[in-house]
Amino acid sequence: MHTCLIEPDATGPGLVPLPLSYEAVVDEICRFTQVPTAEVARRVWREALEPGWNVGRDVEAFGVTPHHYDELMETLYREGMGFIFETLVYWANPIRQEWSRKAVQRLLRYSAAKRADPAELSLLVLGDGVGNDAIFLARNGFKVDYFDVPGSKTYDFAVKRFAHYALLNQSVRLISNYRSCFEKQYDAVLSLEVLEHLPDPRAAIADIGRILKPGGIAIITEAFGLTPSDLPTHLKCNVKLDGRTPFLFHERGMKLSWYSRTPLFKPMEFVRVERRQRLSSVRLLFDRGVIARIIEGRARRLKQRIMALLA
């Protein structure tokens, strides 16, 4: 039974490479798009120097109102290429890799507790974009269902990667219709930095609760409170949820079972319970990390209000 983490930068027979350097990111994008090499190199360099630059260009091109979800934002997600550049460059950051490392460690711990091989677990990755997390999970012996915006350029890019690396229909199965996620129950759902992009994250959290097996786990990160100009697809309507994620999951029958301390809540883990415990929400209020996150969220919202008044 495989229980040891295979690091993102590990190499060896059978290990699909993850692009973690400037040159590797450029090569990966060139391989699976028709964008000229010089243009890819320029855009990757700009993204590294100015995070969000590529999605910002898409916002301008599609006439999107930053932080506001509408049909134009949907068009950006389907037809824009900015997220290919942004997510590959961001995933090469060791801080971002650490979130996925911890997620895989929790999944390995879960599989060991179940006395199951990682490949025996049913695992859904929601909103994985270019597919790096699905590939990282496959490297660590998991078989995953992948879902992102079907038919989008980001989705098509991920599919080409999975096919090229012989993962498609082997370690990675595509979910091309969101409703198909409800056709079975999962041992685990992984969704990193997705909820803040959704117009109704509460509904998405309810869906996660529906598709998890009793005792199954959800591994989550979110950035509800971050709506700066370089993150124009983070929705301002979700700022009010900043710091409340443990309570939102609790409302849907998922108990906070673990969270990272460094950085705080990146990621956090929730376990689906069959019967909600009456005092479990009260216990959250005695958790120092949860309280710190609530205070941080309120302070951030207050700062944003003050800045808006002064603008």
Token readout for 246 is 């443990």
Confidence label for 300 from pLDDT (cuts 50, 70 and 90):
confident
Do 273 and 253 touch, CB atoms closer than 8 A? yes
For the segment 282-296, the average pLDDT, to the nearest whole number, is 88
Token readout for 36 is 């000229």
Task: Return the residue matching tokens 């019967």.
Answer: 275
308 has pLDDT over 80: no
What domains sit in the chain, N to C, each tagged with a CATH number?
Answer: 94-310 (3.40.50.150)
Per-residue model confidence as pLDDT tens digits over 230-284: 999 999 999 999 999 999 999 999 999 999 998 889 999 999 998 776 667 788 8
Where residue 263 falls (left for φ over 0; alpha for ψ -120 to 50; beta otherwise) is beta
294 to each of 60, 161, 256, 299, how far by Cα in Å? 34, 39, 15, 9
Task: Return the residue matching tokens 């969704």.
Answer: 191
H/E element holding 81?
Answer: none
- CA separation for the pair 272, 283 (Å, rounded): 17
Token readout for 286 is 């005695």
For the segment 164-178, the average pLDDT, to the nearest whole number, is 96
Token readout for 30 is 């060139």
Instruction: Kindly report the pTM of this predicted structure.
Output: 0.95
Per-residue model confidence as pLDDT tens digits over 120-159: 999 999 999 999 999 999 999 999 999 999 999 999 999 9
Q: What percent of the chain has pLDDT over 70?
A: 98
pLDDT of 233 reads: 98
pLDDT of 240 reads: 94
| Mean pLDDT over the full length of the chain | 94
* DSSP secondary structure letter of residue 174: E
Per-residue model confidence as pLDDT tens digits over 103-121: 999 999 999 999 999 999 9
> Dihedral, CA atoms, 129, 132, 134, 136, nearest 10 degrees?
-170
Q: What percent of the chain has pLDDT over 90?
A: 85
